[in-house]
Amino acid sequence: MKFTEAKSKFIQTWGALGSQWGINKTMAQIHALLMISPEPLSMEDIMEELQISRGNTSMNLRALMDWGIVFKEYKPGERKEFFTAEGNIDELARKIAKERSRREIKPTLRVLQDISAIDGSESSKAAHFKAKTEELYDFVSRADNMLEKIIDQKENWITKTIMKLMG
């Protein structure tokens, strides 16, 4: 496989994976392109490489910067802005996990806490519902606490241990 074919395949695959992370395909493709680029890219470079509009590029770069996984860089003598991706894979994983917790897990915990606060004495169905939603809240809360501990590790030995167990 030639470099250009491998690069294209990686960008397409990373884009498809993005939807499983809760981000759109184009956002993930921009991230993939920046991640594998040996030097920062301008918005025009990204637009040309991925064949996407300026508005789409701008909107997705802003979102990636909000996630904390893409950064602006300035080059002396250049008027253009350049962009680069987080280079440390452990740090990238921590930032994605932290953002997913903030966007997905925390809101789910709030909903589970609210809905499990019903009066379970009104019927057996209500009691069952209350018990199951409390059980689910406890499980998700423990998982989120474990995720936070992993995120907080600077020397991410927990993630490395988990990856070894999975391998």
pLDDT tens across 49-88, in order?
999 999 999 999 999 999 899 999 988 888 899 999 998 8
Q: State the CATH number of the domain containing residue 12.
A: 1.10.10.10
> Can you read off the two tokens belonging to residue 141?
């809360």
Confidence at 89, pLDDT banded by 50, 70, 90: confident
DSSP state of 121: T
Helix (H, G, I), strand (E, B) or coil at 91: helix
Look at residue 161 in the predicted model and tell me its pLDDT.
Answer: 63
Q: What angle do CA 62, 67, 71 make, to 5 degrees?
A: 60
Q: State pLDDT tens for residues 122-134.
A: 889 888 998 999 9
End position of a domain, from candidates 66, 85, 104:
85
CA distances (Å), origin 154, targets 35, 90, 91: 21, 9, 9
Query: How many structural domains are present in the chain?
Result: 2
Closest to 11 (Cα-Cα) out of 44, 43, 42, 52: 52
Can you tell me the distance from the alpha carbon of 47 to that of 28, in angstroms, rounded to the nearest whole number? 14
Let me know whether 121 and 62 are in one domain. Answer: no
pLDDT per position as a tens digit, 31-59: 999 999 999 999 999 999 999 999 999 99
Co-location of 55 and 78 in the same domain: yes
Instruction: Give the Cα separation of 101 and 123 in Å (integer).
Output: 34
Domain match, 80 and 140 both = no
Same domain, 98 and 72: no
- Domain membership of residue 11 as a residue range: 3-85
